[in-house]
A and B are shown apart, each in its own frame.
Chain A
Amino acid sequence: MKHIPFALALFAAFPAPLAADQQNIIAEQVWSRASMGENRPGVAYMELHNTGSGTRTLTGVETGRAAMAQIHQTSTSASGVSQMAPAGDIDILPGTRIALEPGGLHIMLMQLDRPLAEGEYYHLTLIFKNGDNVEIRVPVLAASARGPGQ
């Protein structure tokens, strides 16, 4: 008996898998850091969960707030030197999630229209190879934030 309300709650919380292949990418833990000054780049992080049955390929990002938005990968060499490079297409296998997080994959927003201000939200489009793009709303946290909710 105890399990029925839980199952109902699950059904209510995750109706997405029932809706065919639509919106089977769920973006969680989405956040961005406040940026400083006129031309420093912004950054956005999130977890992308593929709840669908097919692989989805993330090819890029777009936002009205930045003239150029790219997915970058930070890598650190054995001698401790870090660098960033465009990440290229990212496959998200069915049932898996990828993390865009500090020191790893991240969305880099260059040539912002104005600095990202703590407390505001902006919209970002995740562009997928199959054309089924995902719109997300990104909260801007403090410049010193280390993760969502911090």
Chain B
Amino acid sequence: MISRRAFAAYLAGGAAVASALLLPGWWQISGPGAAPPLPRLPLPLGEMSFSMQDHTGAEVSPQGLVGKPSLVFFGYTFCPDVCPTTLSDISTWLSGLGADAARLNAVFITVDPGRDTLPAMAQYMQHFHPAISGWRGSLAETDKAVAGFRASYTLGEGAEGEGADYAVEHTSSVFLFKADGRLAALIDLHEDRAQAVAKIQRVLQR
């Protein structure tokens, strides 16, 4: 028989243990120690729905990427800083992969189809690794693509004007998808080159 006093002691002890276990959990999950909410992950490529043209004028779709691992990122050709940096980064990753680069899709999708006409895309893509494809769609298709990737973009002030000088805020991470079309990793601006190449190689080895 457990005496009433012993039972109360058990109860109190149990409560203390429970709060000792729960408190750090609360602190980390919903308390002040919580990490910022993770951005929502993109849909698998095969479940996205949009159609665009690449910089050579060919019709392209996200389903067409399934079967090979893919690197995809958003930008615009009037972007002076982030986009050429990212395109150059991807160019060096592809060069670093050598012959393996052919086992990968690399796609740059413009979020500024108003200024980024197909000829503009064709001219721009010449400056980077020839394996990178530049995609452009109507505004509606661009919005569908951005939604599928759970990405975002906002045209800056002055975007309504003729030949305007405006900037575009946009998701700048590079999305790395597995051959089955599911997300493998994100590669962020400023990420170390060796680390980026290692992430790509892991996906190629699967």
Contact = CB atoms under 8 A, between A and B. Distances in A.
B98 interface: no
Interface string A23-65: 0000000000101110111110000000000000000000000
B167 A83 contact: yes
B88 A145 contact: yes
Contacts of A106: 80-81
Contacts of A145: 88
Contacts of A84: 81, 167
Contacts of A37: 120, 123
Given A80-B186, A81-B170, A108 B80 contact: yes
A82 interface: yes
B151 to A, nearest CB: 8
A144 B163 contact: no
Contact of A33 (B84, B171, B189): B84
B54 interface: no
A81 B169 contact: yes
Interface string A123-145: 00000000000000000001111
Nearest to A118: B127
A1 interface: no
Interface of B is mostly: loop
B91 interface: yes
A39 B88 contact: no
B127 A142 contact: yes
Interface string B114-129: 0000001001100110
A40 B81 contact: no
Contacts of A143: 84, 127
Contact of B78 (A40, A80, A111, A142): A40
Interface in B154-203: 163, 165, 167, 169-173, 186, 188-190
Interface in B81-130: 81-82, 84-85, 87-89, 91-92, 120, 123-124, 127-128
Given A36-B127, A143-B127, A103 B82 contact: yes
B172 A76 contact: yes
Contacts of B32: none
Contact of B39 (A41, A74, A80, A83): A80
B80 A43 contact: yes
Interface of A: 33, 35-37, 39-43, 68, 72, 74, 76, 78-84, 102-103, 106, 108, 110-111, 142-146
16 contacts: A36-B124, A43-B84, A68-B165, A76-B172, A80-B173, A80-B188, A81-B152, A81-B171, A82-B189, A84-B81, A103-B82, A108-B80, A111-B165, A143-B84, A144-B84, A144-B88
Interface of B: 36, 39, 77-78, 80-82, 84-85, 87-89, 91-92, 120, 123-124, 127-128, 151-152, 163, 165, 167, 169-173, 186, 188-190
Given A36-B124, A74-B81, A103-B85, 5 more contacts: A68-B165, A80-B39, A81-B171, A84-B81, A103-B189
